[in-house]
Structure 1
């Protein structure tokens, strides 16, 4: 989803200055798209256009003031008066006794994520007496999802056997998350007569438009993503033929097959969970278009695009490249900007240790932790301040490869320290503030918090996607 690194870019309007509109979101199932679903799913482009005609479909935020108050109370939006807000006004720097904190230039909530959370709050406020459901976690942040549950918004999760929507009846409210929903889910809920609130990130929807184009022009979609990720599942449902590649190695395997052929059964086995129904690598890789999961690394997606283009140039020649390769601009800068900012931060010789804040199931946050670990810098990834025990100076943190580790005496009170901190694209500012408050408390047991100071709303872009 799109990230606006400094959130202060010129030309952006504050929410108060923007016209009142509402947003759209969808969310998929946490397993590969079933062949049966692919065969029966309606045309995605036609379906999406038809949703607006139902009178039960909302796809823009209303910027409701009461919802804003509730978001501020719950700490699920941008900070406007807390520690993070105050750091933004002084060069992303803070000093508290022996502790110096440097906040990454690009961090935390991207615009698309904040927008999705805002729309979920607005849906609850607009329908106080109705049952409200989300077809998956609204974003990959445990505290935000907990807040939704506290407001009697039920999150429908896959327990390993697919999602059960039988409890949802006509007249209920269904929220589609920022990751998007599958074509089949959209169709089913349209027919069910529910009120639909679509918070799909506009950058995710932009990817869907490219996949729609692939389908209409009879190209196979090569999707750079993780086949089990909610967003990729939704994107794949809009494609007629697709293959999902997770990294450069898998992309190279596909390119080699295009150029030289190979073992068809090995190919189908290797990508068994990442292919459209009836996929034939000998015929369906003759014309390909590139799409991506927006949380993947921008640079890697671009590299895969260049690999595919070179492959088709080699096989078919420059005169016919446009008949065999289609590339549309769909890359969101969110993940890349956060990673670029962290590369800059870990190169700072003044940084003694890193703290990464974000959901443990957030792929973009795991990449941030990975950068610090590869640099050899002590780095602690937590999903919330609850992982830090002030009394024992202990932290329960996650490593980039997935291991949970408990570290005692991770801080050394009495010794000056410079801490770098960043957060994933699904992490609200308050989560960072609560982590830092605990750090300050370990260094100074008498620390009583940072006095609030109104710093104004974060500038955000107009919705033009």
Structure 2
């Protein structure tokens, strides 16, 4: 993969770089008794298989299950105050009314046509705020980060909503008791978690993104028709962990390289031991590659690159036709449309903006553990456009003119003199689907401040409510 700092294909208003380790992003160790997240997630849990579809339907019958926002005005007011919703009066809102363009002195900013909060993410944050408003005197827990944004998750902690964080593949739910409120994040929760919390008598608030639930329906169909699910995703990602829990048999492939290995095995066979070693953490319990790959269905982590998911689907289709013949394809390969529109739109918009010859460099804003944001950075790098990925404005030091940013493959790098005050520059900017508008505004404010020390902010202007493309689908 090409490094952003190695690209010399476009003029850029920065120079110099050095790498350093960001100790702040290392997870703190938990002083708890830890148990596996996927199997015995809470005390009394069992490893018995559960019918995922039937379980999800049964949750509605408990009287303790909420899966729709209430659109509570008090919660909306708090979200606006905390800057965890859509901007309706700030810089981003004003850019929307001006063709996603802003000029500030020598700086021209072009905002991608599709960026930031998707409907499913905003919905999850809204439901968490509404849960606190509805249960002011109860203990509230989230089974993981509500979304992959550090500032949003910090706001929840400040509202006394505890995020149950994992260390490795282990998590402790022992402090959650009957009557407490448990929030399932936008990424969803595993079948085992849903079953265990149903039986524990807790109030459940399910903020799972409907697009993720759509993938679960696909995997459930694979299971019911005795197909093995091939999941395009990252085996340790919360969403993929949840999706895999709905499948009886599955194998997770992270990219085309692993998909090609899988297809070669389907066509030609190979070493069973080598296969199981390669996918040791990415297959279902008791998986047998010699017998479980004759019927496969494709599913995906919703935040993966759309093009790669499509390529993997075509590769699997070609493989099964070659092995079993075109006339028997439907007996051996099952494909259902599960690519998230929001992810696709943000990726398409990024491809468009990096093709703009006026752009000097990109700024990508989003959580460092956000998969969909990492793919936005990856697109910019692949296209040879210098790009800086930050999770918040705190990564920019105005006085020193430095930026601590991440590359798509994970390296954290500090770049000095990344801006050149006095030299005109055109900046492209986008943000991941878990990034509120205020995070983008705060980044741009610091950029403007480096160019003009007297910059004091953008006066608010009411731009009306936001209608997202996702809500129209």
Same fold (TM over 0.5): yes
Do the aligned residues in 1 keep the contact of 2:366 with 2:392 (CA within 8 Å)? yes
| Paired positions, count | 437
Q: Give matches, 1:145-184, under 5 Å.
A: 145-160=153-168, 162-184=170-192
Aligned residue among 121, 136, 139 for 1:128: 136
Q: Does 1:105 align with 2:113?
A: yes
Could you tell me the TM-score, scaled by structure 2's length? 0.89
Indicate if the aligned counterparts of 1:109 and 1:424 stay in contact, CA closer than 8 A. Answer: yes
| Gapped regions of structure 2 (runs ≥ 5) | 1-33
Q: Does structure 2 conserve the Cα–Cα contact (< 8 Å) formed by 1:31 and 1:233?
A: no
CA contact (8 A) 1:182 1:238 kept: yes
2:319 match:
311
The 3 A distance-change label for structure 1 pair 455 and 357 is same
User: Which whole-Å deviations, capped at 9, do the CAs of 1:55-93 have from their partners, x for residues lacking one?
Assistant: 000001111111110000000011000000000011000
Pick the aligned partner of 1:282 from 290, 293, 301: 290
Structure 1 distance, partners of 2:136, 2:455, is: 39
1:250 aligns with 258
CA distance in 1, matches of 2:83, 2:227: 44
Indicate conservation of the 8 Å contact 2:219/2:299, yes or no: yes
Q: Does 1:196 align with 2:207?
A: no
Question: 1:327 is matched with which residue?
Answer: 335
1:269 alignment partner in structure 2: 277
- The answer to whether the 8 A contact 1:104-1:422 is kept is yes
Q: Deviations over 1:332-367 (max 9, x none)?
A: 122232222112212211111211111111121112
Counterpart CA distance in 1 for 2:195 and 2:181 is 15
The match for 1:90 among 98, 102, 107 is 98
Deviation at 1:375, TM superposition (A): 3.0
Residues 1:39 and 1:311: Cα distance change in structure 2 (over 3 Å): farther
Q: Which moved more, 1:397-406 or 1:274-283?
A: 397-406
Is the 8 Å Cα contact of residues 32 and 227 (structure 1) preserved in structure 2? no
- Where does residue 54 of structure 2 map in the other structure? 46
Q: Of the candidates 393, 398, 405, which is equivalent to residue 385 of structure 1? A: 393
Give the conservation status (yes or no) of the 8 Å contact 2:363–2:427.
Answer: yes
Q: Which residue of 2 aligns with 1:403?
A: 411
Structure 1: 5+ residue runs without aligned partners?
Answer: 1-28
- Asked if 1:236 corresponds to 2:220, the answer is no
> Does structure 2 retain, via aligned residues, the 8 Å contact 1:219–1:289?
yes
Where does residue 64 of structure 2 map in the other structure? 56
1:88–1:31 distance in 2 versus 1, CA, 3 Å: farther
Partner of 2:444: 436
Q: Structure 1 pair 298/121, CA: closer, same or farther in 2 (3 Å)? A: same
1:46 deviates by: 0.9
Aligned pair 1:139/2:147, yes or no? yes
**Residue 207 in 1 paired to residue 225 in 2?**
no
Query: Distance in 2 between the 1:254 and 1:47 partners?
Result: 31
Q: CA distance change for structure 1 residues 462 and 265 in 2, over 3 Å: closer, same or farther? A: closer
1:390 shift after superposition: 1.1
8 A contact 1:32–1:274 mirrored in 2: no
1:159-186: CA deviation from partner (whole Å, max 9, x where unpaired):
2361110100110000000001000000
Work out the CA distance in 1 between the residues paired with 2:332 and 2:380: 40
Determine the C-alpha separation between the residues in 1 that align with 2:348 and 2:168.
36
Deviation at 1:377, TM superposition (A): 2.6
